[in-house]
Amino acid sequence: MQKFALIGAGFIGSVHAHNLASHPDVDFKLVYDIDLQRATTLAAQHGATAAASLDQIFENNDLDAVFIASSTDSHAQNLRHAADAGLAALVEKPIDLDLETAKSTVAYVERAGIKAMVNFNRRFDRAHAELKELVHTGQIGDVALLQLTSRGPALPPVDYLKSSGGQFRDQAVHFYDLARWITGQDPVKIHAYGSALAAPEIAEFGDVDTSISSLLFPDGALAQIDCVRHTNYGYDERIEALGSEGMAESERQRSGHVTLLQGQQAQSHGLHGNWFDRVQPTYAASLGAFVQSLEDDREVPITLREGLKSQAIAQAAVRSAASGRSETIDYSL
Amino acid sequence: MQKFALIGAGFIGSVHAHNLASHPDVDFKLVYDIDLQRATTLAAQHGATAAASLDQIFENNDLDAVFIASSTDSHAQNLRHAADAGLAALVEKPIDLDLETAKSTVAYVERAGIKAMVNFNRRFDRAHAELKELVHTGQIGDVALLQLTSRGPALPPVDYLKSSGGQFRDQAVHFYDLARWITGQDPVKIHAYGSALAAPEIAEFGDVDTSISSLLFPDGALAQIDCVRHTNYGYDERIEALGSEGMAESERQRSGHVTLLQGQQAQSHGLHGNWFDRVQPTYAASLGAFVQSLEDDREVPITLREGLKSQAIAQAAVRSAASGRSETIDYSL
Amino acid sequence: MQKFALIGAGFIGSVHAHNLASHPDVDFKLVYDIDLQRATTLAAQHGATAAASLDQIFENNDLDAVFIASSTDSHAQNLRHAADAGLAALVEKPIDLDLETAKSTVAYVERAGIKAMVNFNRRFDRAHAELKELVHTGQIGDVALLQLTSRGPALPPVDYLKSSGGQFRDQAVHFYDLARWITGQDPVKIHAYGSALAAPEIAEFGDVDTSISSLLFPDGALAQIDCVRHTNYGYDERIEALGSEGMAESERQRSGHVTLLQGQQAQSHGLHGNWFDRVQPTYAASLGAFVQSLEDDREVPITLREGLKSQAIAQAAVRSAASGRSETIDYSL
Amino acid sequence: MQKFALIGAGFIGSVHAHNLASHPDVDFKLVYDIDLQRATTLAAQHGATAAASLDQIFENNDLDAVFIASSTDSHAQNLRHAADAGLAALVEKPIDLDLETAKSTVAYVERAGIKAMVNFNRRFDRAHAELKELVHTGQIGDVALLQLTSRGPALPPVDYLKSSGGQFRDQAVHFYDLARWITGQDPVKIHAYGSALAAPEIAEFGDVDTSISSLLFPDGALAQIDCVRHTNYGYDERIEALGSEGMAESERQRSGHVTLLQGQQAQSHGLHGNWFDRVQPTYAASLGAFVQSLEDDREVPITLREGLKSQAIAQAAVRSAASGRSETIDYSL
């Protein structure tokens, strides 16, 4: 049984609270939020207690782990506190939007020796995980080409985008991570184009809503990643992996199973109307994998260092979009 | 808030217990089972109390409703007790395998005036419900032909089959009910063929594992229902409704979203490996609809009388399989 | 090289003329039609000669085979002429709408010893043929259940229907034949319901436009066949064969490969707008198989006797629709 | 009626010969090939005459048009001859592998004023054409992102590759053309990565077998093109066009319509085993469009100048693969 505190009681925090409360090996103790009322409400829903301050979490002798789901700019600080307190930590990505800060945080945490995992939840998508397994068991031979599609249904609030770090660091980074995970390789070069098409106003703060990234792996394998913020046709996420022996895909997923045939047309359920309907199950699975690594005293499935690597790719994508060059990815930590 | 007792702590009882405990408007109080230990264990998992006898349920002044999920031969008696106690009742089908007993039970319950619903859970399948809505809002015009497919992955235990009432009364009856519900009509005639192919030994007690039923509706519309106990390719349930203006279907549902393409073939996820993976969500939805009718003091969505009608169809199917005739369905109650 | 004459220059005759002219082993010599002008025009398009009378065909010493695609009521007479003339014959179904006439014709033709084939062209549908091969090579184990769907997009002209012999003999008969061919068995019993829903007026001459047939095979296997004249959503033809080891299907075929995703919906190509778009390739394949049997001096792939058997099933279907009984099929010839 | 000569009697020449012979408005007169025997055989199959020399074509007063399907290095010379002779010309791409030679040839041909079309046959794929129509009629709003997939089943002979101009100029160029055609815009920048994975030996002559191209359009729209020579799972060609209002796709096409369901898997027809099964219909359609423009005396559907533009994109792709930069596309002619 692992005793958990949760930091952050916003939308995604409430998802994690539900999963913490439902996990049979988790004792969900505390919730902290900068808005105490929000923490109190969420804690009450799940039989936990609201913490009035972070000290109640980090100076607590009766906790095993902390789930950091607070605002991005507090991730690094909370990780350092967890390291000081000897608490295992599961942290939402990114570790910090500033890569240098992220690196020094990881170094700090590693010295402390706590178990710490970055929450790249999409690795726990059941179909993506099956695809990865097909690749890793040699079903498609040597990987030659990946195609990753990441398209959200509608533009998030501009306020969110402003503090998100931009499309490459916020959205594409999940797929850089998936590309590394599926191939088992770190790409060496990246090229990216990006445009602000659905929301030209976000170009003012340097963001884009439509982008394509090309990756080159050490053995010559290639990857394409297309990221769109606003599809107007639902949430479209899928992966193809083509290898020397065949191709595996994690397919587009429809939101239902009814078709109406009339005249010359067939009208079917389209895709999920929002991202959460599609990715919801990944959060419980991700938490479950983290808890299992604590129970078994094994390495966490996604180390902070892996988080840094995917962030380094995103950083190179940002550079490429500006320079018009294929950029070498710098993994020095 | 509705205070519930559950009768029956077997597999399906445990599903209901979970749903009762999770429903925000249900106060899950008591569990009874002929095996007290089983009731105690299940009650403990969901914060309820085990009842040592049925009297604790039916002579209890602090209950609103009872969920009857005990063995089939006790349904009628439990319904009568609920009627005497003035408790609303949600009962698994059938009311009783003997149609005359079922009829007299319904008459008794109706006289008592309690709310009572028979749990034809498949009406709460999301895709089937969308199909029914398309039909009832005129999207396909006048219904001309229904095709209902009900195929289970593997033969249930022979002991289960022996007490099930046979394929027409146990399996096909759900689809007779769906056919009535989708068309909004009561069929007038039925013809059925049945064979014991996967398990010839069940013919000894008069059962079949593969059957086809043909229904004729008052306006000339037709329905075909195929029922198979043992597909060897998973759980296959789907419905087509063809009308004067087009066709709607609740499609076959695959168990996953990964495809492997190699050489000249595409290998994909097949169907769900067992019925429960497919129908699980219907149980919570069915309970939810029953609770809502209690909260709103409205008629339950599926009256016992509707249960009798579908059972009357099954009874005529059994007669037809024996007589080789198209049998008129007798709805007199 | 086989020298052919074609009898009948209507729509389907023109399809056959094209296939005869395109076949590398066919020397397409003559075309006859009761309308000489029509024969002349069709012959000219394909480098053949119009025959002013049937005598030019049946008293011709320079022909090997005749393709009988004239009106149904002339099939038997033309078959007898071919038998007298020693010409191989490929005849559109039925041999004759009157089963007794058909039987005596077959007996006459068999005595003459010519090669004669009835044109159940759907056996040459590529997908149906693959399904049959899967079944015959044991891929699904022992057949337990067939589901055959035959749905036309729109009601044929009432004049056509009047002389067609009715839905069971005209449309369903193709699928009775497919059921025999796929299972490799002759069904022993049939039950049928039929209604005139799209065109109530055809009930006046005893026809139906929506029907369901249930077949029972000697080993207990079952088949369902649904026939619809007017879908309003295109041409829908497909087959499922379920056996002890799995299920094979010849799937519904869409008319194109474009999908438009918008909002919550996916709008795709529906089915073929008319039957001919779907079945066209079967005619050339059927002719090809007949020609091959002539070239190799082997038995034709579908004997007239097989045509009689499927017609006997249709006859029993008609009886069942009238009697309300499961009818035993009489194959005595 | 247009009188045609065909230059080139190889595999693709034989396809064109069949289409020329079948077209109702074409009088197929002459076939030339450097191998006279090959020309003679092909001509005989289609009622045409073999030309012993090119002079018989270009000094012939009884011709309207020439179809140039000879080896790539002779395209430019044959185009100039056609211009001199005043013959309309349909030429396989490319005009010449050397872009400067191609430009001067186009200038020469334009001065002569003949109708000349480059055979980008994939524009005549029915599904691609429907997609383009959906885009041009505003069904998806403003184009934001194109995804084009071009994957061949197996590596062509290395001898073919050596003289092909490389994957960008030989294979990708078709999809650069489709991207221009669908968007109605000329891209301004391109970035490309390429690897020789299936056949490392082709790197010796500077070719690749796996490549990804990224295009940037003037309005910020983006396109991704993936090209693979060797899939080992069949011929996979498809297009997605995502716009401000939704998404349209020309889908992956399977080679058949049979599925076998067993245990937990569904095994279906994969893709076409070779490119020709998929693209065959485009050749007749392309020829038909060219003939129609001659009959109507209208501009040909794809001018040589359009061919130059797509070739200019390919040229920039080659530069980018070498430079590691996003390259500006130079359309100056």
Q: Minimal Cα distance from D327: which residue of A?
A: A324
Asked whether the bond before D187 is cis by omega within 30 degrees of 0, the reply is no
Q: Does D265 touch chain B (CB under 8 A)?
A: yes
Mean of per-residue pLDDT scores for chain A:
96
Give the tokens for residue A141: 């031979």
Site from B247, B254, B271, B325 to mutate, C interface, most C CB atoms within 10 angstroms: B247
**Are the Cβ atoms of B246 and A257 closer than 8 angstroms?**
no
How many Å lie between the alpha carbon of C145 and the closest alpha carbon of chain A? Answer: 24
B92 residue type, one letter: E
Per-residue tens of pLDDT for chain C, all 333 residues? 999 999 999 999 999 999 999 999 999 999 999 999 999 999 999 999 999 999 999 999 999 999 999 999 999 999 999 999 999 999 999 999 999 999 999 999 999 999 999 999 999 999 999 999 999 999 999 999 999 999 999 999 999 999 999 999 999 999 999 999 999 999 999 999 999 999 999 999 999 999 999 999 999 999 999 999 999 999 999 999 999 999 999 999 999 999 999 998 999 999 999 899 999 999 999 999 999 999 999 999 999 999 999 999 999 999 999 999 999 999 997
Please tell me whether residue A331 adopts helix, strand or coil conformation: coil
**Are the Cβ atoms of D232 and B262 closer than 8 angstroms?**
yes
Pick the last residue of a domain from C68, C84, C114: C114
Could you give the dihedral angle defined by the CA atoms of residues A203, A205, A210 and A212, in that order, rounded to the nearest 10 degrees? 110
The string of DSSP codes covering B151-181 is: E-SSPPPHHHHHTTT-HIIIIIHHHHHHHHH
The 3-state secondary structure of chain D, one letter per residue: CEEEEEECCCHHHHHHHHHHHHCCCEEEEEEECCCHHHHHHHHHHCCCEEECCCHHHHCCCCCCEEEECCCHHHHHHHHHHHHHHCCEEEECCCCCCCHHHHHHHHHHHHHHCCCEEECCHHHHCHHHHHHHHHHHCCCCCCEEEEEEEEECCCCCCHHHHHCCCCHHHHHHHHHHHHHHHHHCCCCCEEEEEEECCCCHHHHHHCCCCEEEEEEECCCCCEEEEEEECCCCCCEEEEEEEEECCEEEEECCCECCCEEEEECCEEEEECEECCHHHHHHHHHHHHHHHHHHHHHCCCCCCCEHHHHHHHHHHHHHHHHHHHHCECEECCCCC
Indicate if A101 and A132 belong to the same structural domain: no
CB A72 within 8 A of CB A42: no
- The ipTM, to two decimals, is 0.95
Q: Which domain holds residue D188?
A: 126-275+309-328
Give which of C229, C254, C241 is closest to C128, Cα–Cα. Answer: C241
Sign of the CA dihedral running B225, B227, B232, B235: positive
Give the tokens for residue A298: 């094994």
Q: What is the end-to-end Cα distance of chain D in Å, rounded?
A: 34
Indicate if B48 and B173 belong to the same structural domain: no
Pick the last residue of a domain from A114, A147, A181: A114
CB A213 within 8 A of CB A191: yes
Q: Does residue C248 fall inside a structural domain?
A: yes
Residue A157: the pLDDT is: 94
Identify the DSSP state of C326.
P
**Are the Cβ atoms of B140 and A258 closer than 8 angstroms?**
no
How many Å lie between the alpha carbon of A270 and the closest alpha carbon of chain C? Answer: 4
**Are the Cβ atoms of C193 and B211 closer than 8 angstroms?**
no
Contacts of C198 (CB under 8 A, 6+ apart): B144, B244, C155, C209, C210, C229, C230
Give mean pLDDT, residues D268-280.
Answer: 92
A333: pLDDT strictly greater than 80: no
Q: Give the whole-number percent of chain D exceeding pLDDT 70.
A: 100
Give mean pLDDT, residues D79-99.
Answer: 97
**Are the Cβ atoms of B263 and A246 closer than 8 angstroms?**
yes
Indicate if A320 and A221 belong to the same structural domain: yes
**Are the Cβ atoms of A270 and C273 closer than 8 angstroms?**
no
Residue C222: the pLDDT is: 98
Indicate if D107 and D42 belong to the same structural domain: yes
Specify the number of domains making up chain D.
Answer: 2
Q: Does C35 touch chain B (CB under 8 A)?
A: no
**Are the Cβ atoms of C216 and B193 closer than 8 angstroms?**
yes
Indicate if A170 and A266 belong to the same structural domain: yes
Please tell me whether residue C94 adopts helix, strand or coil conformation: coil
Site from D232, D257, D265 to mutate, B interface, most B CB atoms within 10 angstroms: D265
User: Which residue in this structure is represented by tokens 């045609």?
Assistant: D4
Indicate if C146 and C264 belong to the same structural domain: yes
Q: Give the whole-number percent of chain A exceeding pLDDT 90.
A: 98
Note the helical H segments in A50-203: 55-58, 75-85, 99-112, 126-136, 158-162, 167, 173-183
Give the tokens for residue C62: 């320079």
Residues of chain C contacting B145 with CB distance shorter than 8 Å: 210, 212, 226, 228
Please tell me whether residue B81 adopts helix, strand or coil conformation: helix
**Are the Cβ atoms of D130 and C258 closer than 8 angstroms?**
yes
Indicate if B60 and B109 belong to the same structural domain: yes
pLDDT tens track for A67-86:
999 999 999 999 999 999 99
Q: Does C193 touch chain B (CB under 8 A)?
A: yes
Residues of chain D contacting C263 with CB distance shorter than 8 Å: 246
Q: Which residues of A163-175 are buried (b: 16+ CB within 10 A; e: fewer)?
A: ebbbbbbbbbbbb
CATH number of the domain that C87 lies in? 3.40.50.720
Other CB atoms within 10 A of residue C279 CB: 18
Indicate if D184 and D313 belong to the same structural domain: yes
Indicate if B34 and B100 belong to the same structural domain: yes
Residues of chain B contacting A249 with CB distance shorter than 8 Å: 258-259, 261
Q: Phi first, then psi: what are they for D149, rounded to 5°?
A: -120, 125
A234 residue type, one letter: G
Indicate if C224 and C142 belong to the same structural domain: yes
Give mean pLDDT, residues A6-17.
Answer: 96
Q: Considering the entire predicted model, what is its pTM? A: 0.95
Q: Does residue A102 fall inside a structural domain?
A: yes
Indicate the helix (H) or strand (E) that contains B285: helix B275-295
Q: Does residue A285 fall inside a structural domain?
A: no
Residues of chain B contacting C325 with CB distance shorter than 8 Å: 324-326
A115 residue type, one letter: K
| Spatial distance between the Cα atoms of D228 and D236, rounded to a whole number of angstroms | 9
Q: Minimal Cα distance from B265: which residue of A?
A: A246
pLDDT tens track for B125-176:
999 999 999 999 999 999 999 999 999 999 999 999 999 999 999 999 999 9
Residue A243: the pLDDT is: 98
Q: Does residue B287 fall inside a structural domain?
A: no
Give mean pLDDT, residues B193-218.
Answer: 97
| Spatial distance between the Cα atoms of B257 and D266, rounded to a whole number of angstroms | 12
Residues of chain A contacting D239 with CB distance shorter than 8 Å: none
Q: Does residue A130 fall inside a structural domain?
A: yes
**Are the Cβ atoms of A232 and D211 closer than 8 angstroms?**
no
Pick the last residue of a domain from C114, C145, C161: C114
CATH number of the domain that B212 lies in? 3.30.360.10
Q: Does residue D178 fall inside a structural domain?
A: yes
Q: Does residue C294 fall inside a structural domain?
A: no
> Of C247, C256, C261, which has the smallest distance from its Cβ to D130's Cβ?
C256
**Are the Cβ atoms of D265 and B265 closer than 8 angstroms?**
no
Give mean pLDDT, residues D12-34.
Answer: 96
Indicate if C68 and C143 belong to the same structural domain: no
Angle, CA D163 vertex, CA D162 and CA D166 arms, to 5°: 70
Give mean pLDDT, residues A109-136.
Answer: 97
B237: pLDDT strictly greater than 80: yes
Residue D57: the pLDDT is: 97
Residues of chain C contacting D251 with CB distance shorter than 8 Å: 257-259
Identify the band that residue B257 occupies on the pLDDT scale cut at 50, 70 and 90.
very high
Residue B333: the pLDDT is: 73
Indicate if A103 and A215 belong to the same structural domain: no
Q: Does residue C181 fall inside a structural domain?
A: yes
Residues of chain A contacting D144 with CB distance shorter than 8 Å: 195, 197-198, 210, 228
